[in-house]
Amino acid sequence: MTARITEGVFFTTPPDLPRGRHELSRDDVLTAQRERLMIATTELMANSGYQGVGVRQIAKRARISPAAFYECFPDKDACVFAAYGRFIEVLLTRIRGIFPVGSFAWDRHAIADIVEGYLTALNADPVVARAFQVEMDALGRRARVQRRAALVGMSEVLKAERERAPGNPRVPLSAYVGAVYAIRQLASDALDEPEKGSIVALSAEAGVWIEAMLSAVSN
C-alpha cells in the first residue's frame, strides 16, 4: 500500500472541491488541484520511484482527471520539480527558524541543533523525505542541477549566519557545501535503510566533526 504524507509538514491536502456550481475562482480550483497533484506525485515516487509513476496514476491518486492534470502542469516532470521546490522551501524555512535573533557561538552544540532541525524535518515526514532525498536522483542532470542549487543555497545561509556572529573566522563557502553534502548523504542513506535507526541520531556526532572541519579550514 502506498504510504501517505504527514499532513502539515511539507504539504496539506486541500478540502474536497464542491460538486456542481460553486463560488470558487478558477485560481482557487487550480491551486487546490496542484496541491493534490504534488502530494500524489510525492507519495507515488516514494513508493515506486520516479520511473514507476505516470500522469494517469498521479491523476487517479489525486482524484482528478488527466485533463485537469494538464491544466495544472505541462508534464510529469513539472509536477515533480514543483513538489521538490516546496520541499526545499520548507527545509530552508525550518533551518532559518533555528537561528536566534542575535549572534551565538557556533560550537558543536549549536551546529548539532542546526543539523537536528534539518533531520527532524525529514523525520517528520519520511514519505516526502524519501521521495526527494532518495528517489529524486533518478531524474538525471536536471535533478542534480536543482539539488546542487538547493544545497549551495543552504550553505550560503549557514555561512552568512555564522559570519554574522563576532569572532567567528571566515571559512570558504566550499567548506559549508562539503558539510551540507555530507549530512544530506548520511540522511539519504538512513532513509534508505530505516531499520538501522532514526536519522535524528546523526545530529550529535555531526556537530563534532563539522565544528572540527570548520576550525581546521579557518586555521
Q: Which pLDDT belongs to residue 102?
A: 59
Cell representation of residue 108 = 558543536
Question: Quick one: which of 191, 194, 152 has its CA closest to 173?
Answer: 152
The contacts of residue 36 (CB under 8 Å, 6+ apart) are 13, 14, 62, 63, 64
Q: Using an 8 Å Cβ cutoff, are 124 and 6 in contact? A: yes
Interatomic CA distance for residues 192 and 137, integer angstroms? 13
Q: Which pLDDT belongs to residue 64?
A: 94
Quick one: pLDDT band at residue 103, thresholds 50, 70, 90?
A: low
Residue 160 has pLDDT above 90, yes or no: no
Q: Which pLDDT belongs to residue 165?
A: 74
Mean pLDDT in residue range 37-57: 96
Question: Quick one: which of 138, 124, 96 has its CA closest to 187?
Answer: 124
The mean of the pLDDT values for the chain is 88
CATH architecture of 77-218: Orthogonal Bundle (1.10)
Half-sphere exposure of 217 (CA within 13 A, CB side): 18
Q: Which of 5-9, 18-22, 32-36, 59-63 has the lowest mean pLDDT?
A: 18-22
Cell representation of residue 15 = 478540502
Sign of CA dihedral 11, 121, 165, 210: negative
Torsion on CA atoms 151, 153, 154, 155, rounded to nearest 10: 90
Neighbours of 219 (CB within 10 A): 6
Residue with cell 550553505: 155
**DSSP assigned state of 182:** H
Residue 219 has pLDDT above 60, yes or no: no
Interatomic CA distance for residues 123 and 129, integer angstroms? 7
Cell representation of residue 33 = 488541484
**114-153 tens-digit pLDDT:** 888 888 999 899 999 999 999 998 888 988 998 999 999 9
Of the two residues 31 and 212, the one the predictor is more confident about is 31
Interatomic CA distance for residues 182 and 204, integer angstroms? 14
Q: At what angle do helices 126-133 and 108-124 cross, to 10 degrees?
A: 100
Q: Which pLDDT belongs to residue 9?
A: 96
| pTM for the full predicted model | 0.88
Q: Which of 73-77, 114-118, 164-168, 182-186 has the lowest mean pLDDT?
A: 164-168
Mean pLDDT in residue range 164-183: 87
